[in-house]
Chain A
């Protein structure tokens, strides 16, 4: 009995559905029988359809895997990233305070050297002007000796404080590494979001939004893309120009 085209199509569809259900239930033997039965029909298009279905199954499985990646990101990697960024704030604050402590101490040492030197210089000039009493010369020599000794010690202290200032800059390496890790995470989040958009949303709208430069209202802190923005000033000169145009 020869089946009509329509009947054959109907049969093929039913067999294919049954095949898909076998595949989903991992009933391989039964699936293989059905594939043989289908290939018996000699319908080349069918294999193309199966190919498409397999591809969809593969994509569905992938999107399931993507879901677990998003879960990991939300559950542990983002909180971890917050800790990392807080670490950056702490380390940079610590380094700034340490540097300022050391610099303030250097300032004090330099102030003392300048003040002592100035005093000694006026005494020394008295000597040139022959205003120094004979007994005072011996005192001046003593003072010069003690001044040189003190300067030597101060210079050593300055050196050690300045080395500490140098060492305090190691925060840049440590925080740089941490920030790089967070950048990698942001990149992963971006990729996952783009995948979700591809799967469920509109990739056209995404592409259109991609070119836009955000110009948020209200305070933003430092602007990092000043060259791409037309609503911000580039520096103090432009602030001054703007204020003077307003009558300041």
Chain B
């Protein structure tokens, strides 16, 4: 499974990559905002996208919308991992077609649980 992790802070990307590795996902790649992530997604055959919301350049919500609007990418599962915790934002992400929403700070158990739920839904 090839996963793209998008966050403007390298430490957060590293934390997520380490947690994914512990869960057995080793094929992970990084981007620091939507503008760098989108071309990678279009050419990279990614199976999964994990993105922050608040980033300079293209924000995570716009990346999500761009992915859903792209014929080739629209079915890729997207997990949002963000400090944004306003109800209207969570609703906006849900309406834009997010598959999971994790608020920072989060635990390894939460990440594991949300990934599990998303894969369960895809497989089932």
Q: How many CB-defined contacts (below 8 Å) exist between A and B? A: 61
A13 at the interface (CB under 8 A from B): no
Q: State how many residues of chain A have any CB contact under 8 Å with chain B.
A: 21
Contacting residue for B87 out of A220, A221, A231, A236, CB 8 A: A231
Q: Which among A21-29, A126-134, A239-247 touches the partner chain?
A: A239-247
Q: Which among A70-78, A92-100, A155-163 touches the partner chain?
A: A92-100
Q: Cβ of A221 and Cβ of B84 under 8 Å apart? A: yes
Bound form: Cα–Cα A220–B84 in Å: 7
A232 at the interface (CB under 8 A from B): yes
| Chain A residue contacts of B94, Cβ below 8 A | 243, 246, 248
A219 at the interface (CB under 8 A from B): yes
Q: Cβ of B88 and Cβ of A231 under 8 Å apart? A: yes
Q: How many B residues are at the interface, by size bracket? A: 20 to 34
Contacting residue for B15 out of A100, A221, A248, CB 8 A: A100
Bound form: Cα–Cα A226–B87 in Å: 12
Q: Cβ of B85 and Cβ of A219 under 8 Å apart? A: no
Q: Cβ of B106 and Cβ of A236 under 8 Å apart? A: yes
A170 at the interface (CB under 8 A from B): no
A135 at the interface (CB under 8 A from B): no
With A100-B18, A219-B59 in contact, is A93–B86 under 8 Å at CB?
no
With A96-B11, A100-B14, A100-B18 in contact, is A223–B85 under 8 Å at CB?
yes
Bound form: Cα–Cα A248–B110 in Å: 16
A42 at the interface (CB under 8 A from B): no
> Quick one: which of A188-224 are within 8 Å of B by CB?
219-223
| Chain A residue contacts of B91, Cβ below 8 A | 242, 246
| Chain A residue contacts of B90, Cβ below 8 A | 233, 239, 242-243
| Chain B residue contacts of A226, Cβ below 8 A | 85
What per-residue 1/0 map shows which CB atoms of B66-98 lie under 8 Å from chain A? 000000000000000001111111110010000
- Among A93, A223, A236, chain B packs the most CB atoms within 10 A around the CB of A236
Q: Which 8 A-B pairs have the closest CB atoms?
A: A96-B11, A219-B54, A222-B83, A232-B85, A233-B85, A232-B86, A246-B94, A221-B83
Given contact pairs A222-B85, A243-B101, enumerate 14 new A-B contacts (beta carbons under 8 Å): A97-B10, A97-B11, A219-B53, A219-B89, A221-B84, A231-B88, A233-B85, A233-B87, A233-B90, A239-B85, A239-B103, A242-B90, A242-B91, A246-B94
